[in-house]
């Protein structure tokens, strides 16, 4: 994609886009922008930093096409942990991602056979961390499971805050061991998914 726009990205550029992308998804979580706005705006802002004017929607389309086809990299013990937990627990994916992209990526992995369902914000009418997103989920899987549910995620502002809003337990997957300088506090914290097995018994 970078070559198509005659832009040779450096590591610093990747870090810049990662920062811009994170800011936009957090703005989406706070209902400041629609998903359509952030998907295009993040690229317009990034390329504007390099004094380049682009069609954000076009760049986003190319980006998501590449993302959907890219090889999936897993954190240590991911597949083994999920496979083991699926024998005794119901597992669901809850994501704010783009429906088509997420579904295509999931089809490339063996995760689908371990999951009992997937909930994507575009289909639920709300997004994490909003309580309405989780209300939709529990309406679908059964309200009786709320007290016995835990959400595992790497985003404090999306996953963990969402769990607080929904009144369920949470586990922050802090693989890079960041300091938590927020007022958002997970029920549990791990840096390797295998640790989840000792929490969920």
* Averages of pLDDT over each 10 residues, the chain, 201 residues: 64 88 87 88 90 88 79 90 97 90 83 94 92 98 97 96 98 97 97 96 78
Beta-bridge mates of residue 95: 120
Q: What is the pLDDT of residue 6?
A: 59
Asked if residue 142 belongs to a domain, the reply is: yes
pTM of the model: 0.76
Domain co-membership, 65 together with 132: no
Domain co-membership, 34 together with 51: yes
Q: What is the pLDDT of residue 1?
A: 52
CATH of the domain at 155: 3.40.50.1000
Asked if residue 90 belongs to a domain, the reply is: yes
Domain co-membership, 46 together with 129: no
Domain co-membership, 185 together with 120: yes
User: Of 69, 96, 111, which closes a domain?
Assistant: 69
User: How many separate domains does the chain show?
Assistant: 2
Domain co-membership, 44 together with 23: yes
Domain co-membership, 17 together with 39: yes
Q: What is the pLDDT of residue 72?
A: 81
The domain of 123 spans 78-199
Asked if residue 93 belongs to a domain, the reply is: yes
Asked if residue 2 belongs to a domain, the reply is: no
174: tokens are: 């802090």
Q: What is the pLDDT of residue 98?
A: 80
CATH of the domain at 31: 1.10.150.240
Asked if residue 113 belongs to a domain, the reply is: yes
User: Of 69, 90, 105, which closes a domain?
Assistant: 69
Domain co-membership, 62 together with 98: no
32-72 pLDDT tens trace = 888 889 889 998 999 998 888 888 888 888 888 777 777 78
Domain co-membership, 83 together with 133: yes
Domain co-membership, 175 together with 83: yes
Asked if residue 42 belongs to a domain, the reply is: yes
SS (H, E, C) the chain: CCCCCCCCCCHHHHHHHHHHHHHHHHHHHCCCCCHHHHHHHHHHHHHHHCCCCCCHHHHHHHHHHHHHHCCCCCCCCHHHHHHHHHCCCCCEEEECCCHHHHHHHHHCCHHHHHCCEEEEHHHHCCCCCCHHHHHHHHHHHCHHHHHHCEEEECCHHHHHHHHHHHCCEEEEECCCCCCCCCCCCCCEEECCHHHHHHHCC
Q: What is the pLDDT of residue 119?
A: 96
Asked if residue 125 belongs to a domain, the reply is: yes
User: Of 69, 90, 109, which closes a domain?
Assistant: 69
Q: What is the pLDDT of residue 3?
A: 53
């Amino acid at each position: 994609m970078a070559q198509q726009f005659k832009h040779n990205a450096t590591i610093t550029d990747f870090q810049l886009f990662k920062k811009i992308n994170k800011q936009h998804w957090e703005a989406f979580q706070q209902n400041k922008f629609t998903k359509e706005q952030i998907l295009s705006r993040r690229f317009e802002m990034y390329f504007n930093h390099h004094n380049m004017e682009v069609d954000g929607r076009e760049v986003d389309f190319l980006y998501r096409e590449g993302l959907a086809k890219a090889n999936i990299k897993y954190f240590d013990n991911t597949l083994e942990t999920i496979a083991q937990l699926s024998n005794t627990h119901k597992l669901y994916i809850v994501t704010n991602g783009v429906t088509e992209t997420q579904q295509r990526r999931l089809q490339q992995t063996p995760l689908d056979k371990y999951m009992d369902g997937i909930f994507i914000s575009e289909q639920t009418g709300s997004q994490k961390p909003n309580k309405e997103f989780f209300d939709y989920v529990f309406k679908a899987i059964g309200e009786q499971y709320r007290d016995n549910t835990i959400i595992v995620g790497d985003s404090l502002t999306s996953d963990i805050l969402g769990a607080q809003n929904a009144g369920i337990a949470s586990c922050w997957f802090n693989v890079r061991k960041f300091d938590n300088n927020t007022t958002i506090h997970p029920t549990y914290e791990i840096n390797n998914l295998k640790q989840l097995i000792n929490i969920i018994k």
